[in-house]
A and B are shown apart, each in its own frame.
Chain A
Amino acid sequence: MSKVEVNHLTKSFGSLKVLDDISFQVNDGDFLCIVGPTGCGKTTFLNSLVKLYDIDDGEILINGEEVDLNKHSIAYIMQEYSTMSWLTVKENIQFGMKVRKFSKEKLNRKTEEVLKMVGLEKFADYYPEQLSASMLQRVSIARAFAVEPDLLLMDEPYGQLDLELRFRLEDELIRIWQETKTTIVFITHNIEEAVYMSQRIMVLTNKPTKVKEDFVNPLPLPRNVTEEKFIEMRNKVTNLIKWW
């Protein structure tokens, strides 16, 4: 439930300029999908957004204030499995809430809620090594939504999953997003996924990364992959990238 403003974000590793004067806004409750060729610095972009990397120039504001990990509640879901193998599913989910010092009562209530949300009630006491890939990703999603984030960053979370599983998790994410109205920034290389889920689509160029195109996705929800208009939108985005 927050507005994100990025003005003239630039970053370079040594002499190599990675992010080149990127400016955009994400309104409250928006679902922004960022698409770009592999190796166009998407992960660097996300990490710079939350000051995990220090940036050379530009500013990032959440609800008007400079982004600060302690003040703002931000959740980050990555492609690599970020569940902690020494914690059970329940402890993993509570990790974020404990860091943000939720009250005991709220902690338990939220844990039940998100476990039900991703359908993992039965697996609360399992260890990550006993779970399949899609269940692990669900744990990360539950952990992220548990802290009621102002901003949810997702870096190709479904990159490794089978096709039918990916469809299912995409629908699930849209449902949760509609329920919680969280602002989501979702990065992917898969254009179909971006067109299927986004309210707005932003296309990045190759390094040094610039914003090539930023437009609203008019298709009504729920969308169908084989619809005429869907394929047309998908081709439009593909031509913008043309890495393939």
Chain B
Amino acid sequence: MKEKKLKYTLISTASVFCFLLIWYLIADVFKVFPSSTFPSPFKVATAFVRKLTVTTPDGGTLGKHLIASLKVVLLGYLLGIVIGVPLGILMGWYRRVDLIVKPLFDLIRPIPPVGWIPLMILWLGIGIQAKATVIFVSAVTPAIINAYTGIKQTNPVHIWVARTFGASNFETLLKVGIPSALPMIFAGLKVSLGASWMALVAAEMLASTEGLGYMIQMNRMVGKADNIMVGMITIGLVGALLTYILETLEKKLVKGGRNK
């Protein structure tokens, strides 16, 4: 078995290398496209280093934009899950809450978060509140859905056992409902993160004075593809990093081998 694994890791590294090689060949060797619209990996790398310190053409270094984006996305995301998860749990457990809140939620859910941007900008301007609200809307929906489904999937046998020991309805929710829904809740947190990151990019591209979305949009205006790619790679990396943090958190909290 050991040499099989080695063979596949070799193939993987080879394929990534070919991907970069082909990219380089098209960009620099054969010059199929002008290098401003299709820069080679090396150009992107140099642009990356340069962008760390230089503020042209979008009025900010990569670090400044990154921090601006992180501030907005974390504000909206945390608000979204702090409200979304408990609401999903209550909707899943208490029938009355389910009957009242769920229809309202189903009314608003189909509107994609991006659709809220114009309304938010009109009401709240292009400052941090508008973007944070849009991100909140995109984060809250998956959090509610996954918490709701997680609670609904609680094993009735466990509920019976708790009730016969004399646990009240609320105590059963705390001791049985939430622990058994934890894996689904974490899945929801990951989906919310993806949705928030997506909404952030859209909001910043549409109306903003800073942030990674704004940066790639400005660089598009001046036609500097290398900076756009730098922005995209950063967005991808930071998104992957945040997801990685969530996964390690999940490994600690979800016990009983249920998060395999």
Whether chain A touches chain B in the assembled complex (some CB pair under 8 Å): yes
Closest to B260 in A: A129
Given A86-B254, A86-B256, A128-B256; A52-B179 close (CB under 8 Å): no
Task: Flag if A84 contacts B179 (CB, 8 Å).
Answer: yes
CB of A92, distance to nearest CB on chain B (Å): 10
| A-B Cβ contacts below 8 A, count | 68
Q: Determine if B165 and A129 form an interchain contact, defined as CB atoms under 8 angstroms apart.
A: no
A86–B258 touching, CB < 8 Å: yes
Tell whether, in the assembled complex, residue B180 and residue A84 are in contact, meaning their CB atoms are under 8 Å apart: yes
Q: Decide yes or no: A86 and B160 within 8 Å by CB, A99-B166, A129-B257 being known contacts.
A: no
Of A50, A84, A85, which contacts B164 at CB under 8 A? A50
Verify B256–A78 contact, CB threshold 8 A. Answer: no
Q: Contact at B160–A78, with CB atoms within 8 Å? A: yes
Chain B minimum-CB-distance residue to A97: B165
Distance between Cα atoms of A86 and B158 in the complex (Å): 12
B166 and A69 contact, CB distance less than 8 A? yes
A96 to B172, CA, bound (A): 11
Best-buried of B163, B176, B179, B258 by chain A (most CB within 10 Å): B163
A84 near B176: Cβ-Cβ < 8 Å: yes
Q: Which residues of chain B in 154-192 are interfacial with respect to chain A, using CB atoms and an 8 Å cutoff?
A: 157-158, 160-167, 171, 175-176, 179-180, 182
A147 at the interface (CB under 8 A from B): yes
The CA of A52 and the CA of B169, in the complex, are separated in Å by: 12
A172 and B171 alpha carbons, distance in the complex (Å): 33
Classify chain A: how many residues form its interface, as a range.
20 to 34
Query: When the two chains form their complex, are residues B165 and A78 in contact, meaning their CB atoms are under 8 A apart?
Result: no
Measured CB to CB, the closest approach of chain A to B25, in angstroms, equals 51
Q: Could you say which residues of chain B place their CB within 8 Å of the CB of A84?
A: 158, 176, 179-180, 256
Q: Which residues of B contact A47 (CB under 8 A)?
A: 160
Q: A50 vs B161: C-alpha distance in the bound complex, in angstroms?
A: 11
Q: Looking at A74, A95, A99, A129, which has the most chain B CB atoms within 10 Å of its CB?
A: A99
B residues touching A (Cβ–Cβ < 8 Å)? 157-158, 160-167, 171, 175-176, 179-180, 182, 254-258
Residues facing B in A54-81 (CB within 8 A) are 69-70, 73-76, 78, 80-81
A: residues with CB less than 8 A from B are 47, 50, 52, 69-70, 73-76, 78, 80-82, 84-87, 95-96, 99-100, 127-130, 147, 153
CB B153 to nearest CB in A, in angstroms, measures 13
What A residues does B165 contact at CB under 8 A? Answer: 69, 74-75, 95-96, 99-100, 147
Kindly report which residue of chain A lies nearest to residue B161, judged by CB atoms. A82
List of 8 A-B pairs having minimum Cβ-Cβ separation, nearest first: A86-B256, A76-B164, A85-B256, A99-B165, A96-B165, A99-B167, A86-B179, A82-B157
> Are B162 and A85 touching (Cβ within 8 A)?
no
Q: CA–CA, A69 to B258, complex, Å?
A: 31
Most buried by B among A81, A95, A127: A95
- Contact yes or no, B157 A78, CB < 8 A: yes
A85 near B160 with CB under 8 A, answer no
Q: Is the CB of A86 within 8 A of B255?
A: yes
CB distance from A102 to the nearest CB of B (A): 11
Q: Which residues of A contact B255 (CB under 8 A)?
A: 86, 127
Bound-complex Cα distance A200 to B193 (A): 60
Contact of B157 among A80, A87, A130 (CB under 8 A): A80
The answer to whether B175 and A85 have CB atoms under 8 Å apart is no
Q: Residues of B contacting A52 with CB < 8 Å?
A: 160, 163-164
Q: Which of A73, A86, A127, A153 touches B166 (beta carbons < 8 Å)?
A: A73
**A47 vs B182: C-alpha distance in the bound complex, in angstroms?**
28
Q: Which residue of B lies closest to A72 (CB)?
A: B166
Cβ A129 vs Cβ B158 within 8 A: no
Beta-carbon nearest neighbor of A78 in chain B: B157
**Residue ID in chain B nearest A68 by CB atoms:** B166
B16 to chain A, nearest CB (A): 36
User: Is the Cβ of A85 less than 8 Å from the Cβ of B157?
Assistant: no
A78 to B160, CA, bound (A): 10
Q: What are 7 A-B interface contacts by the 8 Å CB criterion?
A: A52-B160, A75-B164, A84-B256, A85-B257, A86-B179, A100-B165, A127-B257
Which partner residue on chain A sits nearest B167 by CB separation?
A99
